[in-house]
Structure 1
Amino acid sequence: MVVAFSPVATTPALADGKHQVAYEIKTGRGRQVVQIDPNDLQCLSEALYFEARGEGLRGQQAVAEVILNRVDHPRFPKTVCGVVNQRGQFTYNKGARIREKGTFARVQKVAVAALSGAPRTLTNGATYFHARGVKPSWTKRFERTIRIGSHTFYRSDRRLASN
């Protein structure tokens, strides 16, 4: 888990026009410098804040896993912001204000860890999740992998047989 992080340098725009920011992260195993796209960090942090701020650390990490699993999956957009902003996929209002600064700082640490290559072992490859208390129709088509906190996670690559 990331204990602290701070930007140390910004690289010039890459060929695709994107900038990367080098962050020094401090973990329980020491310090390292990682390159993270600031837009990815902002999008993932906002998604975690609005989708999982009431969850414990594992629940927030699991939601981050789903988003990054989608980035790596051929059926979803190829960027964090593309996944988070995909129409109809996440329920939060993109224009909503972040009111709890301390909570946002905590989910930002989860986002930095996830974008720095933290292992994705909590959800068993999940690409979907929903909160307890709702039962989307798509849950019948996918394999349920785990429940963490108030979220249930599903993997889309193994479709269940339907009669």
Structure 2
Amino acid sequence: MSVTEQDRDVLARTLWGEARGEGLAGMVAVAWSIRNRVDDGKDKSWWGEGYAGVCQKPYQFSCWNRNDPNYPFLSGARQIPFRELAQCRIAADQVIDGNVSDPTSGATHYYATTMPKPPTWVKGAKQTLVLGHHIFFKDVP
């Protein structure tokens, strides 16, 4: 699969919206959960096509929901601070280019521990990693 500049930009923006406070390791882990969806053999209509398609698929990553406070930044209506976006781009490029291994052991899902309660999909899923304020899972039913 070829990766476009749009894929790289959308992934970096998604990392800003989902994990900017988690440091490079946390952003890499979130990026890997996205890459695992991109690489998954499921019907592409389920996850979306490519990095941009997966990140922007409705209801997959809340930062892309129009009512999310991050959305104006991700959509370009407001500017993300340059240094913050540059750090997200480093994480995105490292994962896309395969320069870092997957710390999530194949996770396709995660949630933030700051949520009031875990999402319903965690029941029956295999937890693979706890890193910062995120818990990662694979084999989600």
Per-residue CA deviations over 1:10-40 (Å, capped at 9, x if unaligned) read xxxxxxxxxx7xxxxxxxxxxxxxxx52011
Separation in structure 1 between the aligned mates of residue 52 and residue 124 of structure 2, nearest angstrom: 26
**2-side partners of 1:56 and 1:103: how far apart?**
10
Equivalent of residue 123 in structure 2, options 128, 136, 140: 140
Cross-structure match for 2:104: 123
Q: CA RMSD in A?
A: 1.7
Match of 2:88 among 88, 92, 107: 107
- Number of the residue aligned with 1:86: 57
Partner of 2:67: none
2:94 and 2:100 in contact (8 A); partners too = no
Total equivalences in the alignment? 124
SS in 1 for 2:135: strand
1:63 to 2:46 alignment: no
CA distance in 2, matches of 1:120, 1:141: 26
**Other-structure match for 1:17:** none
Q: What one-letter code is carried by the residue in structure 1 that aligns with 2:104? A: T
Q: CA deviation at 1:121?
A: 2.5
Aligned-pair identity (%): 31
Give the TM-score normalised by the residue count of structure 2: 0.80
Write the letter of the residue equivalent to 1:133: T
The structure with more helix, counted as a fraction of residues: 2
Cα offset, 1:117, TM superposition? 1.4
Structure with the greater relative contact order (CA < 8 A, sep ≥ 6): 1 or 2?
A: 2
User: Structure 1, residues 94-119: CA drift from partner, whole Å, max 9, x if none?
Assistant: 44334322111111111111111124
Larger radius of gyration: 1
Q: Which amino acid aligns with 1:153?
A: F
Give the conservation status (yes or no) of the 8 Å contact 2:113–2:133.
yes
Aligned to 2:18: 51
Could you tell me which runs of 5 or more consecutive residues in structure 1 were left unpaired when the two chains were aligned.
1-19, 21-35
What is the alpha-carbon distance in structure 1 between the residues aligned to residue 31 and residue 91 of structure 2?
A: 8
TM-score, normalised to structure 1, is 0.70
Q: Is the 8 A contact 1:98 1:104 kept in 2?
A: no
Q: Which amino acid aligns with 1:111?
A: A
